[in-house]
Amino acid sequence: MKNLAPETVAAQAGGGIDEATGAIVPPLHMATTFIRDPDNQYRKGYSYGRPDNATVRQAEAVLTTLEGGAAGLVLSSGMSAATTAFLALERPAHVVAPKVMYWGLRKWLAEDAPSLGVEASFVDAADPAAIRAGVRPGKTRLIWIETPANPLWTITDIADTAAIAHAAGSLLAVDSTVQTPVLTQPIALGADIVMHSGTKYLNGHSDVIAGALVFARKDATWERAQRLRAMLGTILGPFEAALLLRGLRTLHVRVRHQCAAAMAMAQHFACHPRVEAVLYPGLATHPGHGTAARQMAGGFGGMLSIRVKGGEAAAIAAAAKVQIWKRATSLGGVESLIEHRASIEGADSPCPPDLLRLSVGLESPADLIGDLEQAIAGAT
Ligand SMILES: Cc1ncc(COP(=O)(O)O)c(C=O)c1O
């Protein structure tokens, strides 16, 4: 059937029934090698597990549908997906990237990418004029944005940035990990590539490291990315792909709950005497609120940060006192995580030292608010 709602596609993992058994759960294909036809062909389309796998293809098909793209690639991590997008560019490549972004990718762009022919200019991606000023017409091959961006939840206008990119002959790629396809479909807003750390909301259960790229077109960039994945062997393993597919089936219900709970949390702590500031695009005080309200449908995401009064020591002390929240990195899982982010991001990070990053899970919002209340009270 055509024109099904995205949650219908996700809930049924694409809706297919296994032809051999009638199973309504997609089968897990573990084979690394496949029989050749007697005339030496591989008519079923599979020859070896490094370039391709049927379970991975199924996860790709669901994600490609959710993102409204033409083709998808599922890879072994979010970082392998992101770096593959950069390495699939023609070289030498100048790229524009945000100052506020996932710190691991910022580090790779700053320290590793130059020797691979990729030179990045870092700009304030909340400001279209700064993005425009960072572009080198004829030389910039990609503008990379992350929205909302770690860990300040900076918002970038996707449609505006797509127009800037395309006017300069560049592509636009969006790290959409935090907004998920439930809230925003960047390709519909003009993006050429959408990237996810599937480790986060897509899988949602903190038990798979995975990444994905979805392409607006099956073009030369897509072909180079697919070749890189096959050559470097960065395809996701079939078991992890099955877990990812299983996670995707509940994506919509999880993300909608997490958005509502994060909003409740943000509103509760916004006027708290022991909180300096709450960073959440759902609050009218957030500088990106207007843009977020336009491009995120049905919620502002499950991630927020709070700046604790009393500085770094108070923030670390508050994180030490939580009982329900788990003190751990990562995000997007069913269990709520709290992290003193500056401890992980290093000296060149825009993250203030008093910031605690919160990934809101599926526990009772009242329990989560109560636990954070007592932790902050005990720390300051
Ligand atoms: C926004 C964002 N992008 C990319 C990544 C990298 O993903 P992975 O850890 O799956 O390699 C992360 C991981 O924290 C992230 O939060």
Residue 161: pLDDT above 90? yes
Mean pLDDT of 354-360: 98
Q: How far is the CA of 28 from the centre of ligand 1 (A)?
A: 25
CB-based pocket (< 6 A), ligand 1: 77-79, 82, 102, 104-105, 146, 150, 175, 177-178, 197, 199, 209, 211, 330-331
For residue range 210-222, list pLDDT tens digits in order.
Answer: 999 999 999 999 9
For residue range 245-255, list pLDDT tens digits in order.
Answer: 999 999 999 99
**What DSSP state is assigned to residue 36?**
P
For the chain, the 3-state helix, strand and coil shares in percent, each to the nearest 5, are 40, 15, 45
Q: In what order do the strands lie in the sheet with 355-359?
A: 275-279, 303-308, 355-359, 337-340, 326-327
Residue 300 has a pLDDT of 98
In angstroms, the CA 339 to CA 341 distance is: 5
For residue range 19-56, list pLDDT tens digits in order.
Answer: 999 999 999 999 999 999 999 999 999 999 999 999 99
155, 124 contact by CB (below 8 A): no
Nearest protein Cα to ligand 1, atom 15: 102
Give me the active site residues, please: 50, 102, 175, 200
Mean pLDDT of 4-8: 95
Residue 65 has a pLDDT of 97
Q: How far is the CA of 50 from the centre of ligand 1 (A)?
A: 23
Mean pLDDT of 338-362: 94
Q: Which two tokens stand for residue 49?
A: 């597990």
Instruction: Annotate 25-64 with DSSP letters as a single string.
Output: SPP----SB-PPPTTS--TTS-SBTTT--HHHHHHHHHHH
Nearest protein Cα to ligand 1, atom 2: 102
The atom of ligand 1 lying closest to the CA of 177 is: 1
Residue 1: pLDDT above 90? no
pTM comes to 0.98
Nearest protein Cα to ligand 1, atom 6: 78
Residue 347: pLDDT above 90? no
The atom of ligand 1 lying closest to the CA of 211 is: 10
For residue range 228-246, list pLDDT tens digits in order.
Answer: 999 999 999 999 999 999 9
Residues in the chain, overall count: 380
Residue 2 has a pLDDT of 75
H or E segment to which residue 110 belongs: helix 103-111
Q: 266-287 in b/e burial notation, b at 16+ Cβ within 10 A?
A: bebbeebebbbbbbbbbbeebe
SS3 state at 50: coil
Count other C-beta atoms under 10 Å from residue 355's C-beta.
23
Mean pLDDT of 158-162: 98
Residue 380: pLDDT above 80? no
Please report which confidence band the pLDDT of residue 336 belongs to, taking 50, 70 and 90 as the band edges: very high
Residue 110 has a pLDDT of 97
Angle, CA 152 vertex, CA 190 and CA 176 arms, to 5°:
30
In angstroms, the CA 243 to CA 238 distance is: 9
In angstroms, the CA 147 to CA 259 distance is: 15
Q: How far is the CA of 197 from the centre of ligand 1 (A)?
A: 5
In angstroms, the CA 115 to CA 111 distance is: 8
- Dihedrals φ, ψ of 357, to 5°? -90, 135
